[in-house]
A and B are shown apart, each in its own frame.
Chain A
Amino acid sequence: MVRRNKEIYCYGIMNLTKYLKVYTKFLHTSLASELEYKTNILIDLITAILSLIGSIFLLSIFFQNSGSIGGWDFEQALIIQGIYTILNGITNTWFNPNLTEIVKHIREGTLDFVLLKPIDSQFFISLKKIAPSGFLEIILGFCLLLYCIRINQINLNTSFLTLSFITIVCSIGILYSLWFFISTTTIWFIKTWNATEVLRSFLYIGRFPLNSFSFSLRVFFSIFIPIAFITTIPSEVILGLSQLWKIFLEVVVAAVFLFTSRKFWVFALKFYSSASS
C-alpha cells in the first residue's frame, strides 16, 4: 500500500515536470511567432491604454453628478476597473487566442492530431498559444490597482494579500471555465465564434459594480453568468468589505465551474466525429 502510494506520488511529480517542460516549449514557440509582428504589439499597447482611459472616462461621466453608484465611490469603483483590466489581459493573453483556435481545430478536423498526442487534450488546447500584448494590459491593471490601494488607504497585510490572491485566482478559474465551456459547444455547432462574442459583451458588465444594476439583472449576473463573482467579490475583498461566506462561496463556485467544464469537455469529445466523416 505504502509502495503504491509512493509510486503514484512519483508518477504525479514526473507528470508535472513533463507538463511544465511541454509548457515552456509552448511559450517559446508562440512567443517567437508573435514577436514577428512587433508593430502589432505596439499598437495593441496603445489600444489597451486607450481602452482603460475610455472606461475611466465613462465611469467619470456616471459619477459626474452623483457621489456614489450602487453604494460605490469613484475611488472604489476604480478597483473594479483595475481587476477587470487584469482579467481582460489574462483573457487576451491566454483564453482568447487558444479557445478561438478550438473552432478552427474542429472545422478543419485538426483536433484529431491533438487527441492523438500523448498529453491531455484540454491542457494542449488551452495553453498552446500565448499573445504577449495582453501582458501589457495585466501590468496596466496592476498599476491601477496599486494606485487604488494607495488612494483608498488600504493597509497591506498577509491575510489581506492571501484573501485577495485566492479570490482573484478563483475569478480566473471561473472566467476560464466560461470561455472553455462555450468553446466546447463548437463540437456540436461547428461555428460558435460569435457565441464567444456574446460572452465578451456580457463580461463587459464586469467593469461596473454589480449593485448599480436593477435587481433582476443582478440575479441574472450572479446565477447564469457569474460576473458578480468575477470582479465584484475580489474588489470587495480588496476594500475589506467582503464577508467570509462570500469568499467561501466564490471558492465553491470556481471549483464547481472548473469541474463541470472538465466533465463537459470529456463528454463532448464522445460526440466528436472529425471533419468530413
Chain B
Amino acid sequence: MISSFINHKIFTLLKVQYSNMLEYRVEIALWAISGIIPFFMLNIWTNNNLNESINISDVMLSRYFLCAFFVRQFSVVWVVFSFEEDSLMGKVSPYLIQPLNPFFRYFAQHLAEQITRFPFALIIAFFFFIFNPESIWIPNIGILFLSTISTFLSFLIQFLIQSIVACLCFWTEKASSIERLLFIPTLFLSGLLAPVVSFPSYVKSWIYLTPFPYLIDFPANLLSGNPINVSGGLFMQILWILLLFPIFKKIWFAGTKKYTAMGS
C-alpha cells in the first residue's frame, strides 16, 4: 500500500517535471552544447601528441573524452540555484507545508531534464563520430550497465553536495557563491579537462581519497574501456554517498528549524 503510494508520487512528479522540461527544450539543447569543452581539450591533447607520455592512444583518449562529455551531461546538478531562487522568492514556504521533502521535487526535475537532454547528447556524439570515425566502438551490455550505474552514483554525490550547500540558504541569502567555489576543484580535478592518469604524482597520491575523480574520471574510464578498478571505484562512490547523506539530513533538519519565511 505504502510502496504503491510512493511509486505513484514519484511517477507523478517525474511526469509533471518532464512535461515542464520539454517546454524548455531549446534551452536544454543549448546547455548540452555548452558542455563540449572536453572535445576542445581532446584537440589540444592529440594535436600536440601529449598523450604519448601517458600511454593512451589517440583512439582511447578520444573515447575517454567523449565518455567524459556524456558523464558530465548526465551528472549536471543545479539544485542550489533553483533552491536559492525559490527561497529568495518565498516559494519554499508552501513546499514545506506539503508532506513531501522539497528536494524530491528538485530531484525529479533533474531526472526529467536528463531524459530531455538525452537526444541532444546523442546528436552531439553522432557529430563527434563523423569527425572521428576511427573512435567508433560499442561497449558491451555489462559495461554499459555498470557505467550507467556509476554515472547515476556520480550524479547522486553531486546532488547531495549541492543540496548541503543549498541548505545553507537558510542561514545566508546567497549560497550559490559557495557552489561556484566548489565548482572549481570539480572542474579541474574530476577529469573533465584532463584524465586523472595524467596528473602529476604529488596530486595523484591524495586525489583518490577525495570524491572528485569518481565524478567524471571513473565512470568515463569505465565506459570507454580504459583500465580501471571497477569494484574499488563503485565502493568509493557508495561510501561518499553514505557519508554525505546523514550530513544532508542533519543540515536540513537544522535549517528547517531555523527557517523563518521571507519577510518575518
The CA of A203 and the CA of B33, in the complex, are separated in Å by: 13
Contact present for A217 and B27 (CB under 8 Å): no
- Stretch from A56-64, A228-236, A265-273 at the B interface: A56-64
Please report the C-alpha to C-alpha distance between residue A99 and residue B100 in the assembled complex, in whole angstroms. Answer: 37
Chain A positions within 8 Å of B35 at CB level: 201
State A87–B73 Cα separation when bound (angstroms). 28
Q: Determine the chain A residues whose CB is within 8 A of the CB of B172 once the complex forms.
A: 39
User: Are A217 and B200 also in contact (CB < 8 A) when A65-B50, A194-B30 are?
Assistant: no
Find out whether the CB atom of A44 lies under 8 angstroms from the CB atom of B177. yes
- Complex: A39 Cα to B172 Cα, angstroms: 10
Q: Which residues of B contact A (CB under 8 A)?
A: 24, 26-28, 30-31, 33-37, 40, 43-44, 47-50, 52-54, 172-174, 177-178, 180-181, 184-185, 187-188, 193-194, 198-200, 203
Cross-chain contact B44 with A212 (CB below 8 angstroms): yes
Q: Are B180 and A66 in contact (CB under 8 A)?
A: no
Question: Which residues on A sit within 8 Å (CB–CB) of B178?
Answer: 43
Contacting pair A217 B40 (CB below 8 A): yes
- Listed stretches A7-15, A47-55, A169-177; interface member: A47-55
Hey, which chain A residues are within 8 Å of B203, CB to CB? 57
In the complex the two chains form, is A204's CB within 8 Å of B37's CB? yes
A191 in the interface, Cβ–Cβ < 8 Å? yes
Q: How far is the CA of A54 from the CA of B177 in the complex (A)?
A: 18
Task: Annotate A208-220 by CB proximity to B: 1 below 8 A, 0 otherwise.
Answer: 1000111001000
Given A57-B188, A217-B43, also A62-B174 (CB < 8 A): no
Q: Give A residues with C-beta under 8 Å from B.
A: 37, 39-40, 43-44, 46-47, 50-51, 54-55, 57-58, 60-62, 64-66, 69-70, 189, 191-195, 197-198, 200-201, 204-205, 208, 212-214, 217
Partner of B34, one of A50, A62, A65, A201: A201
Judged by DSSP, the binding face of A is helix
| A to B contact number (C-beta, < 8 Å) | 94
Return B190 CB to nearest CB of chain A, in Å. 11
Given contacts A43-B181, A46-B181, contact A198 B30 (CB under 8 A): yes
Closest to A63 in B: B50
> Which of B30, B44, B53, B174 makes the CB contact (< 8 A) with A213?
B44
CB of B47 within 8 A of CB of A214, answer yes
B50 to chain A, nearest CB (A): 6
- B177 interface neighbour in A47, A55, A69, A205, Cβ under 8 Å: A47
**Which among B48, B174, B187 has the highest number of chain A CB atoms within 10 Å?**
B48
Q: How far is the CA of A66 from the CA of B48 in the complex (A)?
A: 9
User: Are B185 and A198 interface neighbours, CB within 8 A?
Assistant: no
Which of chain B's residues have a CB closer than 8 A to the CB of A46? Answer: 181
The residues of B that contact A60 with a CB separation of less than 8 Å are: 200
Name the residue on A nearest B187 (C-beta).
A54
Q: Is the CB of A205 within 8 A of B188?
A: no
- Distance in angstroms between the alpha carbons of A200 and B187 in the assembled complex: 14
Asked whether, in the complex, the Cβ of A193 is within 8 Å of the Cβ of B27, the reply is yes
For A65, list chain B residues within 8 Å (CB): 50, 52-54
CB pair B185–A61 under 8 Å, yes or no, is: no
- Do the beta carbons of B200 and A64 come within 8 Å of each other? yes
Q: Please give me the residue from chain B that is nearest to A197 by CB atom.
A: B34
**C-alpha gap A208/B28 in the complex (Å):** 28
- A200 near B48 with CB under 8 A, answer no
> In the complex, which of the residues B47, B184, B198, B199 contacts A54, with contact meaning CB atoms closer than 8 Å?
B184
- Within the complex, the shortest CB–CB distance from A183 to chain B, in Å, comes to 14
* Given known A-B contacts A70-B48, A201-B34, A61 and B194 have beta carbons under 8 A apart: yes
Whole-angstrom distance between the alpha carbons of A153 and B198 in the complex?
A: 31
Q: A70-B48, A193-B27, A212-B47 are in contact. Are A61 and B198 (CB under 8 A)?
A: yes
Chain A residue contacts of B194, Cβ below 8 A: 58, 61-62
